[in-house]
Amino acid sequence: MNRVADGMRGATVVVTGASSGIGQATAEAFARQGARLVLVARDLGAIEEVADGCRDLGAETLALAADVTDAMAMTEVARQAAEFGGGVDVWVSNVGTGAVGAFHEVPIEAHEQVIRANLIGHMNDAHAVLPIFLQQGRGVFVNMISLGGFAATPFAAAYSASKFGLRGFAEALRGELIHHKDIHVCDVYPSFVDTPGIAHGANYTGKKLSAPPPVLDARRVARAIVRLAGRPKPTTMIGAPTALIRLGHAISPGLTTRAMALFLEGYFRRAPDAPIDTGTLFRPPARAGGIDDGLRAPAQRTGAAGLALGLGAVAILAVALRGRR
């Protein structure tokens, strides 16, 4: 029986990177649906905090400390999850980080760590759970990517490489699974989200980092993931900027990359100074980071700013295309 098709109650769901942001919001969303949860992060204390919150929501929850960059550790997570839940129905591969700064000024170790977490980590997740899915004959693997999977992100070169690579990996994996109609690989591409992720990433710019509006509520992303678990599909875009940037990049990659570079250069000139910081790139946070980071302005919470900026982006794209013609 496909437990996911019958609803989330009793389904076993694994969420990696669950100690803050989208991961925590996703864990809580599945908990409210009655799922059995396996929550994973690098620090046991941090992930236990989130697990306690999910237990308070009525969900049977197992918290595990593991690093997605460690393939053997993720194989053990998959084994424990299957034992805990009598199989694995949904695996949300959510870990993501970044290192912001000019490519040559960011230490190569930081670039390597971003690739390990954002790309190799997701591959480790898939490699660990896919044998379980194949044995069951079913399963949903949710890949958290971002709009960075469709368009390059100057001053975050390793992040860009990891997201482009992750999209290619997922497409290749779907090709290998074409004869397994009940095993799904689902990619999620949100635009900028209000989470501690920016604060947790490494910052080599010497400037305070933020996210451009409109900024999504992580709970909206979590709701989309829960829907995917019941009705899987290959690609889910969340937020108008993702669709617009995907379209613009498809039409003129050079134009979108140049526009993004100029925008970021302007932002760095205006932004207040901040210390260079590796964040949690090389070390886990000792405490859960929470879902929100206060990046959304009041107008954005009402959706007014998002609508205005979305219309503005459409106008800019139209002008750019007219110029090309």
| Catalytic one of 159, 189, 204, 267 | 159
- Average pLDDT on 166-172 reads 97
- Give yes or no: 159 in active site: yes
| pLDDT band with cut points at 50, 70 and 90 for residue 6 | low
pLDDT the model gives residue 305:
42
**Chain segment 94-106, per-residue pLDDT in tens:** 999 999 999 999 9
Average pLDDT over every residue of 138-158: 94
- The pair of structure tokens assigned to 233 is 């599909």
The pLDDT of residue 21 is 96
Q: Which domains does the chain have, with CATH numbers?
A: 12-324 (3.40.50.720)
| C-alpha separations of 124 from 67, 81, 91, 153, 184 in Å | 10, 15, 12, 24, 17
Per the DSSP assignment, residues forming a β-bridge with 16 are 40
Give, for 190, the enclosing helix (H) or strand (E).
strand 183-190
pLDDT digits (tens, 9 = 90+) for 15-53: 999 999 999 999 999 999 999 999 999 999 999 999 999
pLDDT given at position 242: 84
Q: How far apart are CA 90 and CA 184, in angstroms?
A: 10
> What is the distance between the alpha carbons of residues 43 and 47, in angstroms, rounded to a whole number?
6
- pLDDT value of position 306: 44
pLDDT bracket for residue 214 (50, 70, 90): confident
90 vs 293, more confident: 90
**Residue 307, pLDDT above cutoff 90:** no
